[in-house]
Amino acid sequence: MHIAQIAPLAEAVPPKFYGGTERVIHWLTEELIALGHDVTLYASGDSVTSARLEAVWPRALRLDSSVRDPNALHMAMLERVRQCANEYDFLHFHLDYYPFSLFSRQTAPFVTTLHGRLDLPEYQPVFTTFSSLPLISISDSQRRPIPQANWIRTIYHGLPQQLLTPVAVKPSYFAFLGRIAPEKGVDRAISIARKCSVPLRIAAKIDKVDREYFDEKIRPLLDGSSAEYIGEITDSEKSDFLSGAVALLDPIDWPEPFGLVMIEAMACGTPVIAFNRGSVPEVIDDGLTGFIVEDEEGAIGAFDRLSQLSREKIRKHFEQRFTAHRMALEYLAAYRSLMDREHRLKRAVKGLPAPALRLAAASTLPT
């Protein structure tokens, strides 16, 4: 099968540091190739991939201060995909609603995986207008704000089985991994760690939009001992970082669509203490891979129960549920299902008179 993966241009595929969506696209692409498929990746020119790379811009937009309007480059990329659409058996978009209008008017089968939050009110008219286009969610909870959308399945993220592995080290601190922003709850993680008398190490990205929040709210809480900020880390550093933690703290305060950091911790055998928000109940098996709590008090109580958990069982559970190989197989099943539907439609309308043909074609477009 010849498959096109169309990625955002903000980060390279894979990103050097933070960038969950682009990392998942990279792992999916590599697994599809390993399974014998021909993949073309539309991404920034500094991406590193086994696929054929179609670069619309030479470098990730996060690293290119000369770009002031990223929408312009994404529009150019979509048009390039449209011009070549018939060369592919399947198109897989990771660009939110950007492809909807253009690609609802062509015949190549496609799907869009939505990677972000969907509870913003301005999304309602978009997903109502394009309610027939096929979508994949990354958790069931992600779907709730837009039940009118055409959800074909939920596919949980996965990472390569040997990318992160347990390291033999005595755990001695709490870990916080990912991004510093109000909704991610690093201030709550610091409070939980201090009340448990356990040091907290913070490995996280700070976006420009959150720099003021970090400087005003978080930096004053950092003392280098009970709470230490070590900056962004690469995948090669995560096994040591997560294996050395008694638990990953994930005290989020928003409807997290998935939460890649949770399965990264599981890959290292590290339990997760997470607030009951968004996808957390779908990703964490309470009492097996960590504890799901409602607030800081619940997190402090969970700390006393960490000795009940087996790090070996946490790793085994990761291997069963959250590998990139499993993810790729589920995506292939989705592709084939949509291709079969497209084939059945073409067979059904073949030979129909022009008015009926126009009616059948219109029924596949958004209403």
Over residues 344-348, mean pLDDT: 68
Angstrom distance (rounded) from CA 327 to CA 329: 6
What gap in Å lies between CA 255 and CA 191, rounded to an integer? 21
pLDDT the model gives residue 209: 92
**For 76-98, what is the mean pLDDT?**
97
pLDDT score recorded for residue 16: 77
Residues forming beta bridges with residue 111, ordered by sequence position: 92
Question: pTM of the prediction?
Answer: 0.91
Task: Dump pLDDT digits (tens) for 217-276.
Answer: 999 999 988 999 999 999 999 999 999 999 999 999 999 999 999 999 999 999 999 999
> How many whole angstroms separate alpha carbon 176 and alpha carbon 184?
10
Mean pLDDT computed over 146-156: 97
Q: Is the pLDDT of residue 367 over 80?
A: no
What domains, with CATH codes, occur in the chain? Answer: 2-159+325-362 (3.40.50.2000), 173-321 (3.40.50.2000)
Sorting pLDDT into bands at 50, 70 and 90, what band is 365? very low
pLDDT band of 9, cuts 50, 70, 90: very high
SS3 (DSSP) at 216: helix
Q: Higher confidence at residue 366 or residue 115? A: 115
Of 114, 179, 155, 116, the residue nearest 31 (C-alpha): 155
- The answer to whether the CB of 8 falls within 8 A of the CB of 94 is yes
Distance CA 56, CA 78 (A): 10
**How many whole angstroms separate alpha carbon 207 and alpha carbon 278?**
22
Report the pLDDT averaged over residues 347-357: 56
Distance separating alpha carbons of residues 30 and 1, to the nearest angstrom: 14
Helices (H), 158-210: 186-196
Helix axes 235-243, 260-267, angle to 10 degrees: 70
Write down the pLDDT at residue 185. Answer: 96
Query: What is the structure's pLDDT at 364?
Result: 46
What's the confidence (pLDDT) of residue 361? 46
User: What are the residues whose beta carbons fall under 8 Å from the beta carbon of 342, sequence distance 6 or more?
Assistant: 107, 109
Is the pLDDT confidence value at 350 over 90? Answer: no
**Confidence check: pLDDT of 187 > 70:** yes
Q: In what order do the strands lie in the sheet with 134-137?
A: 52-55, 38-43, 2-6, 90-93, 110-113, 134-137, 150-154
CA distances from 59 to 20, 73, 176, 254 (A): 18, 12, 29, 31
